[in-house]
Amino acid sequence: MREYLLYLGCTTPVRLPSYEAATKAVLSKLGIRLLDFKDVTCCGAQYIESISPRAHIGLGGRILALAESQGKDVLAICGACSGSLKHSKHILDKDKGMRREVNSMLREEGLKYTGNVQVKHLLQVLRDDIGYEHIRKAVTRRYSGVRLAAHYGCHVTRPYDIVKVDDPENPRVIDEIIECIGATAVDYPDKTRCCGGPLLAMDEELAALIGADKIKNVRGVGAEGIVTACVFCDIHLSQIQIGDDEVPESRVPIITLPQLMGLAYGIDKESLGINLNRISPEGILGTLQEGVGQ
Amino acid sequence: MIAKPGGRKGSISTSSDTALVIGGGVAGMQAALDIADQGFKVYLVETTPSIGGKMAMLDKTFPTLDCSACILTPRLSEVSHHPNITILSYSNVEKITGRVGNFRVRVLRRARCVHEERCSGCGNCIDVCPVEVPNEFDQMIGFRKAIYMPFPQATPNVCTVDMGSCIQCDRCIRVCERDAIDLNMKDKILRLSVGVIVVATGYRLFDVSAYPRLGYGKYMNVIHALEYERLINAAGPTQGHLIRLSDAKVPQNIGFIQCVGARDVSKGVPYCSRVCCMYGIKNAVMAKEHNPNTEVTIYYADIRAFGKGYEEFYHMAETRFGVNFVRGRVGRVLENPENCNLIVSVEDIAHHELLEVEHDLVVLSPGLQPPRSLEHIAHQLHFEVDDEGYVEVQNTFLNPVDTTIPGVFVCGCAEGPKDIPDSVSTGSAVAMRAAIALLHGGAK
Residue A221: closest C-alpha in chain B? B337
Residue A4 has pLDDT above 60, yes or no: yes
Say if residue A73 is in the same domain as residue A174.
no
Closest CA–CA distance from residue B212 to any residue of chain A (Å): 6
Closest CA–CA distance from residue B299 to any residue of chain A (Å): 21
pLDDT band, very low/low/confident/very high, at A243 (cuts 50, 70, 90): confident
The per-residue pLDDT for B5 is: 42
The per-residue pLDDT for A235 is: 96
Helix axes B26-36, B68-81, angle to 10 degrees: 40
Would you call B300 an interface residue with chain A, using a CB distance cutoff of 8 Å?
no
The per-residue pLDDT for A250 is: 86
The per-residue pLDDT for B11 is: 37
Closest CA–CA distance from residue A190 to any residue of chain B (Å): 8
Say if residue A106 is in the same domain as residue A168.
no
Type of residue at B16: S
- Beta-carbon contacts of residue A243 (< 8 Å; ≥ 6 apart): none
Residue A293 lies in a domain: no
Residue A47 lies in a domain: yes
Alpha carbon distance B190, B92 (integer Å) = 10
Residue B1 lies in a domain: no
B368, B383, B417 — which closes off a domain?
Answer: B368
The per-residue pLDDT for B363 is: 98
A170 and B212 within 8 Å at the Cβ level: the answer is: yes
User: Residues B31, B427: contact at Cβ < 8 Å?
Assistant: yes
CA A236 to the chain's CA centroid: 13
Alpha carbon distance A63, A41 (integer Å) = 7
Residue A193 lies in a domain: yes
CATH number for the domain including A213?
3.40.50.11810
B213 and A220 within 8 Å at the Cβ level: the answer is: no
Which of A118-122, A192-196, A226-230, B1-5 has the weakest average pLDDT?
A: B1-5
**First and final C-alpha spacing in chain B:** 13
Say if residue B302 is in the same domain as residue B279.
yes
Residue A294 has pLDDT above 60, yes or no: no
User: Residues A31, A130: contact at Cβ < 8 Å?
Assistant: yes
Alpha carbon distance B284, A42 (integer Å) = 53
Say if residue B348 is in the same domain as residue B413.
no
Say if residue B86 is in the same domain as residue B170.
no
Residue A97 lies in a domain: yes
CA A117 to the chain's CA centroid: 20
- Helix residue ranges, H only, B61-209: 68-81, 124-128, 171-175
Alpha carbon distance B401, B292 (integer Å) = 43
Angstrom CA distances, A271 to A17, A20, A24, A259, B40, stand at 11, 10, 10, 9, 83
CB atoms within 10 A of CB B341: 21
The per-residue pLDDT for B356 is: 97
Say if residue B311 is in the same domain as residue B199.
no
Say if residue A158 is in the same domain as residue A190.
yes
Say if residue B61 is in the same domain as residue B164.
no
CATH number for the domain including A51?
1.20.1050.140
Say if residue B168 is in the same domain as residue B278.
no
pLDDT band, very low/low/confident/very high, at A47 (cuts 50, 70, 90): confident
Residue B299 lies in a domain: yes
- How many helices (H) and strands (E) are present in chain B, helices listed first? 9, 24
Q: What is the β-pairing status of strands A147-150 and B295-300? A: unpaired
Say if residue A150 is in the same domain as residue A256.
yes
Residue A294 lies in a domain: no
Residue B280 lies in a domain: yes
B368, B399, B428 — which closes off a domain?
Answer: B368
Q: How many domains does chain B have?
A: 3
Closest CA–CA distance from residue A24 to any residue of chain B (Å): 34
CA B99 to the chain's CA centroid: 29
Q: Tell me the residue range of the domain where B264 lies.
A: 206-368
Helix axes B225-232, B276-290, angle to 10 degrees: 30
Closest CA–CA distance from residue A167 to any residue of chain B (Å): 10
Q: Tell me the residue range of the domain where A205 lies.
A: 132-285
In DSSP terms, B410 is beta-bridged to B199
Q: What residues of A are in contact with residue B356 (Cβ under 8 Å)?
A: none
In DSSP terms, B62 is beta-bridged to none
CATH number for the domain including B274?
3.50.50.60
Say if residue A109 is in the same domain as residue A150.
no
Q: Give me the residues of A, 13-72, that contact B with CB < 8 A.
A: none
* CA-atom Rg of chain A in angstroms: 19
Q: How many domains does chain A have?
A: 2
Q: What residues of A are in contact with residue B337 (Cβ under 8 Å)?
A: 220
Alpha carbon distance A176, A229 (integer Å) = 13
Say if residue B240 is in the same domain as residue B361.
yes
A170 and B337 within 8 Å at the Cβ level: the answer is: no
The per-residue pLDDT for A128 is: 97
- Helix residue ranges, H only, B170-295: 171-175, 225-232, 276-290
Residue A290 lies in a domain: no
pLDDT mean for each 10 residues of chain B (444 residues): 39 68 98 97 97 97 96 97 98 96 96 97 97 96 96 96 97 97 97 96 97 95 98 96 96 98 94 98 98 97 96 98 97 93 97 97 98 92 91 94 96 97 98 94 64
Alpha carbon distance B122, B119 (integer Å) = 8
Residue B356 lies in a domain: yes
Interface test with A, best of B213, B222, B343 (most A CBs within 10 A): B213
The per-residue pLDDT for B442 is: 64
Say if residue B425 is in the same domain as residue B364.
no
Say if residue A255 is in the same domain as residue A219.
yes
B368, B395, B430 — which closes off a domain?
Answer: B368
Q: What residues of A are in contact with residue B211 (Cβ under 8 Å)?
A: 169
pLDDT band, very low/low/confident/very high, at A89 (cuts 50, 70, 90): very high
Which of A169, A187, A220 is the closest to B213 by Cβ?
A169
pLDDT digits over A252-267, tens only? 999 999 999 999 999 9
- Beta-carbon contacts of residue B80 (< 8 Å; ≥ 6 apart): B51, B87, B155, B156, B157
What integer is the mean pLDDT of A49-73? 96
Buried b (16+ CB within 10 A) or exposed e, B230-245: bbbbebbbbeeebebb
Q: Torsions phi, psi of A283, nearest 5?
A: -60, -40
The per-residue pLDDT for B4 is: 40
Would you call A222 an interface residue with chain B, using a CB distance cutoff of 8 Å?
no
Say if residue A166 is in the same domain as residue A264.
yes
What integer is the mean pLDDT of A126-137? 97
Closest CA–CA distance from residue B140 to any residue of chain A (Å): 24
pLDDT digits over A190-211, tens only? 899 999 998 998 999 999 999 9
Would you call B229 an interface residue with chain A, using a CB distance cutoff of 8 Å?
no
Q: Give me the residues of B, 108-127, that contact A with CB < 8 A.
A: none
Would you call A190 an interface residue with chain B, using a CB distance cutoff of 8 Å?
yes
Residue B211: closest C-alpha in chain A? A169
Say if residue A39 is in the same domain as residue A113.
yes
Query: What pTM was computed for the model?
Result: 0.86
Residue A169: closest C-alpha in chain B? B212
CB atoms within 10 A of CB B248: 9
Q: What residues of B are in contact with residue A189 (Cβ under 8 Å)?
A: 334-335
ipTM above 0.85, yes or no: no
In terms of pLDDT, which residue wins out, A292 or B145?
Answer: B145
Residue A257 lies in a domain: yes
Q: What residues of B are in contact with residue A192 (Cβ under 8 Å)?
A: 213
Residue B181 lies in a domain: no
Interface test with A, best of B219, B332, B344 (most A CBs within 10 A): B332
B212 and A189 within 8 Å at the Cβ level: the answer is: no
User: Residues A91, A98: contact at Cβ < 8 Å?
Assistant: yes
Residue B112, CA atoms < 13 Å, CB-side half-sphere: 26
In DSSP terms, B366 is beta-bridged to B260
Closest CA–CA distance from residue A79 to any residue of chain B (Å): 21
Interface test with A, best of B208, B216, B219, B266 (most A CBs within 10 A): B266
Alpha carbon distance A195, A209 (integer Å) = 9
A190 and B212 within 8 Å at the Cβ level: the answer is: no
Say if residue A103 is in the same domain as residue A210.
no
A169 and B211 within 8 Å at the Cβ level: the answer is: yes
User: Residues B365, B227: contact at Cβ < 8 Å?
Assistant: no
Closest CA to B310 of B285, B288, B277, B287: B277
Q: What is the β-pairing status of strands A184-186 and A147-150? A: parallel
**Can you say whether residue B224 is alpha, beta or left, with left for phi > 0 and alpha for psi between -120 and 50 degrees?**
beta
CB atoms within 10 A of CB B187: 12
User: Residues B284, B232: contact at Cβ < 8 Å?
Assistant: no
Residue A150 lies in a domain: yes
Say if residue A144 is in the same domain as residue A173.
yes
Q: What residues of A are in contact with residue B343 (Cβ under 8 Å)?
A: none
B334 and A192 within 8 Å at the Cβ level: the answer is: no
Which of A160, A169, A220 is the closest to B212 by Cβ?
A169
Alpha carbon distance A154, A168 (integer Å) = 8
Say if residue B147 is in the same domain as residue B251.
no
Say if residue A157 is in the same domain as residue A250.
yes
A169 and B337 within 8 Å at the Cβ level: the answer is: no
Alpha carbon distance B60, B279 (integer Å) = 9
Q: What is the β-pairing status of strands B222-224 and A225-228? A: unpaired
Say if residue A179 is in the same domain as residue A249.
yes
Residue B379 lies in a domain: yes
The per-residue pLDDT for B444 is: 58
